[in-house]
A and B are shown apart, each in its own frame.
Chain A
């Protein structure tokens, strides 16, 4: 069974600085999808960024980028120029690529605090 591990329960960063959240996963599949979701306090979960395992290029979305290391099964999220609105729980998630399988396997989350 696939597992996703986030080893940092909490992280903090100064506003405007850069922070990296870690995620490792375990799978026997060669093709799959990885996601970072953000869940602000009392607000709904939103997608931050996604990565297809067959793509070697790391995904980027504005201030958010990933470092995808397939051999190491590592998928870290880098947030540049941190803003107060980035404060949230961040969840790493895995999904295998089979059409018809929508199940996401989540990590336990990292609570990110932004220090003004």
Chain B
């Protein structure tokens, strides 16, 4: 089975712009979670989608949003980019069968905001 894929792998944007990141989960996985990883704050949960519905949300401003499509692929969007949004954005998928599932991570998208 192919693993979790994320596109693009690297991205450079300027302050005020918006960005969309994409995540394709492992085939058959219906849950997709997003995390932000920075040297200062570590790994922080952004949100999780299951069957096209956002189930959980972390403590991030409304500039961070996401969605999930019927094929379980997910996108996250950050509007009005700030310098502090520079980070590695990780996506993880799980099969969600009975609540005992492991999350499998993608390689991440490294976003640099100038």
Contacts and interface: CB of A to CB of B under 8 A. Distances in A.
A100 B55 contact: yes
A75 to B, nearest CB: 16
Contacts of B70: none
Interface residues on A, range: 20 to 34
B45 A47 contact: no
Interface of A: 33, 35, 37, 43-47, 50, 52, 91, 97-109
B45 A105 contact: yes
A100 B43 contact: no
Interface stretch (B13-21, B74-82, B101-109): B101-109
B90 interface: yes
Given A106-B42, A106-B43, A50 B102 contact: yes
Contacts, number: 60
Contacts of A45: 90, 105
Contacts of B100: 33, 52
Categorize the interface residue count of chain B. Answer: 20 to 34
B22 interface: no
Contacts of B42: 106-109
Contacts of A98: 99
Nearest to A101: B56
A104 B45 contact: yes
B107 A100 contact: no
Interface in B27-71: 31, 33, 35, 42-45, 48, 50, 55-56, 58
Contacts of A97: 99
